[in-house]
Structure 1
Amino acid sequence: MKTAVHKSEIPPSQIFVIRHLHDRHFDPVWHAHSEYQLFVVLEGTGTRFVGDSIKAFKPGELVFTGPHLPHLWRSDEAYFAKKSELRINGIVIYFNEHFLGEHIMEKEEMLALKNLFTRALRGLEFHGRSREQIIAMMKELTAMKGIKSVIHLLRILEYMAATKEYAYISAKAYSDVQTQSETTRMNLVYDYVLKNFRRKILLEEIAGLLHMTPTSFSRYFTMQNSKPFSRFVSEIRIKHACKLLTETDEPVSHICYESGFNTLSNFNRQFKEFMLKRPMDYKKEFMSI
């Protein structure tokens, strides 16, 4: 997806910013910024959007994103309920590429770090022992100040640059700075779909939100997202089904309708198209792991 709010930069007085997040839900706005971001979910569940990738998230997820790569960790609807007692918890670190100096990244000692930054333009998700080690180091960093904190951040980056326990998230990197008006439009679409994907969403109703004709909206959405709106909705539904398959004991027939599909045959067909396996095979494989 191309449109995203660009948030404020790191204050000129600081080399980097680290925040320990405690709130009712994560920021519900699709956005991007010019800084690199290292983010770990410690508590909370929902749907993650990074570049052109859609995936359910849960505690323990560790993601490193580069500049201008749009992203959103959308908490489940239960977190937005007025009387909800659910809470989220996470740690996020922001820094820019030249936080050590304008030309230092061109030095040969920085080659591994430079390669890490290049990979991060597509977003990286860490796993295995590396993920656990990086999370532990991030927790330590929250209690540090001064030069000790900068040295510790470099240790984290050095560890990330050396590990092979990661996977790319987005199929492509993003470099365009986005406009507020385009971001507002796409956030309306995101919010509406995430609240209504369990039922049939008519093209006319979603186009009406943006004051467009259905034909104009279809063309606009495909241009902005490199995928048709119908496929986007199907991805949301399939990712929700994946979550239910791995976190509940509900039968496939129930998960089918709970995820917004009208027939079991259509659900099975689309699930295999997106996940390359049948729903029960996906569940069995997950449980074996």
Structure 2
Amino acid sequence: MKVLQFTIPVPLDKSIIVQKDVLPYFYPHLHRHQEIQLTWIQQGEGTLVADNNMHPFRPSEIYWLGANQPHIFKSEASYFQPKSRKKIVALVIFFNPDGELAGFFNLPEIKVLKNFIQQHQSGFKVPPEHATEISSRMLKITNSSGTEQLLQFVELLKQLSGCPDITPLASGQRAQPVSEHEGIRIGNIYNYIMHHYDKPITLEDAAKQACMTPQAFCRFFKKHTLHTFVSFLNEVRINEACKKLTDGSYDNIATVAYTCGFNSITNFNRVFKSVTQRSPSEYMNSYFQSV
């Protein structure tokens, strides 16, 4: 998907780019770049869209995004309020294994790490039990330079390659490539749904955002996202529900259901199980046990 193709500025004397973001909210548009991206969420919450899959994100989580993988860390709607005092903080490492580092990754001694990178082009979330050691290594990379930074980077890749049970952020069939204009249109639709998921949204409402008839919109959306409008809306709502169920700010499951745009608890339970393969209470129990 050609969505706002970015070129990460690379200093002449560096092949590994370290970036600290402190902003009102994450960059709000779908985009991709040649560099692999490792993002440690230090502050902020929302929904990560990677290819056509959604994942709620929270502080202390770390995500690996593959080269040219379309993605967006979409901050929660409250971050965009005019008087919001919220902010996001993230530490990000970029590197391009086919750029300045290509010769390094072609060394026979680095074959295991190169294979690891090639096997995870769809990205992954660092398992929670390994987040502390990976974040510590990211800090060492941030606080070093030259040869020492490169050595710390190799150690980081070794630690990541040793993580068991890595689940890809995206799996299965990929959507067809689209033009930049179409990509921006899809991004605008995503943005609209993510900002209005808690309200009744009709197919006609979404089609109007894309300046299309409902019939044309259905074909366009399914072709380029592999989702129907309803399935995408349901996934957004369930992702938001997962965050609300586990952040301790709501008294009961029914309240969460209604604040996420569902008009009945029965429908919420049915959709929740179809998306997560668990009931809301099972999801909560599993989450708190792992934490």
Q: TM-score range by the shorter chain?
A: over 0.9
Of 155-164 and 210-219, the range deviating more from structure 2: 155-164
Structure 1 unaligned segments of length 5 or more: list them: none
- Partners of 1:218 and 1:229 within 8 A in 2: yes
Distance 1:231 1:150, change over 3 A: same
- Partners of 2:2 and 2:183 within 8 A in 1: yes
Report the alpha carbon displacement of residue 165 of structure 1 after superposing the two structures with TM.
5.2
What SS does the corresponding residue of 2:148 show, helix, strand or coil? helix
TM-score by length of 2: 0.92
What SS does the corresponding residue of 1:121 show, helix, strand or coil? coil
What SS does the corresponding residue of 1:73 show, helix, strand or coil? strand
Q: Aligned residue for 1:29? A: 29
- Partners of 2:176 and 2:224 within 8 A in 1: no
Distance 1:146 1:179, change over 3 A: farther
Q: Aligned residue for 2:63? A: 63
What SS does the corresponding residue of 2:27 show, helix, strand or coil? coil
Report the alpha carbon displacement of residue 39 of structure 1 after superposing the two structures with TM.
0.8
What is the identity, as a one-letter code, of the residue corresponding to 1:65?
L
Distance 1:146 1:93, change over 3 A: same
Q: Aligned residue for 2:171? A: 171
Distance 1:105 1:178, change over 3 A: farther
What is the identity, as a one-letter code, of the residue corresponding to 2:257?
C
Tell me, yes or no, if structure 1 residue 6 matches structure 2 residue 5: yes
Tell me, yes or no, if structure 1 residue 268 matches structure 2 residue 264: no
Structure 2 unaligned segments of length 5 or more: list them: none
- Partners of 1:3 and 1:186 within 8 A in 2: no
Encode CA deviations 1:89-118: one digit per residue, 9 max, x unaligned. Answer: 111111111355545434431221112211
- Partners of 1:122 and 1:173 within 8 A in 2: no
What SS does the corresponding residue of 2:18 show, helix, strand or coil? strand
| Equivalent residues in 2 for 1:1-289, closer than 5 Å | 2-11=1-10, 13=12, 14-99=14-99, 101-164=101-164, 166-172=166-172, 179-248=179-248, 249-289=250-290
Distance 2:284 2:211 in 1: 41
Of 19-28 and 249-258, the range deviating more from structure 2: 249-258
Distance 2:113 2:234 in 1: 37
Cα RMSD, aligned residues only? 2.0
Of 38-47 and 8-17, the range deviating more from structure 2: 8-17
Encode CA deviations 1:52-71: one digit per residue, 9 max, x unaligned. Answer: 22111101111111111111
Distance 1:7 1:266 in 2: 40
- Partners of 1:29 and 1:187 within 8 A in 2: yes
Distance 1:22 1:8 in 2: 20
Number of aligned residue pairs: give it. 288
Distance 2:259 2:211 in 1: 30
Distance 1:4 1:40, change over 3 A: same
Distance 1:253 1:272, change over 3 A: same
What is the identity, as a one-letter code, of the residue corresponding to 1:256?
A
Of 156-165 and 60-69, the range deviating more from structure 2: 156-165
Report the alpha carbon displacement of residue 204 of structure 1 after superposing the two structures with TM.
1.5
Distance 1:85 1:273, change over 3 A: same
Distance 1:191 1:115 in 2: 35
What SS does the corresponding residue of 1:4 show, helix, strand or coil? coil
Report the alpha carbon displacement of residue 88 of structure 1 after superposing the two structures with TM.
1.0
Distance 1:176 1:132, change over 3 A: farther
Distance 2:130 2:256 in 1: 34
- Partners of 1:51 and 1:172 within 8 A in 2: no
What is the identity, as a one-letter code, of the residue corresponding to 1:137?
R
- Partners of 1:10 and 1:95 within 8 A in 2: no
- Partners of 1:3 and 1:224 within 8 A in 2: no
Distance 2:67 2:99 in 1: 13
Distance 1:177 1:7 in 2: 16
Report the alpha carbon displacement of residue 164 of structure 1 after superposing the two structures with TM.
1.9
Of 246-255 and 88-97, the range deviating more from structure 2: 246-255
What SS does the corresponding residue of 1:151 show, helix, strand or coil? helix
- Partners of 1:50 and 1:72 within 8 A in 2: yes
Distance 2:152 2:264 in 1: 53
What SS does the corresponding residue of 2:121 show, helix, strand or coil? helix
Identity of aligned residues (%): 25
Encode CA deviations 1:29-70: one digit per residue, 9 max, x unaligned. Answer: 111111111111011111111122211110111111111111
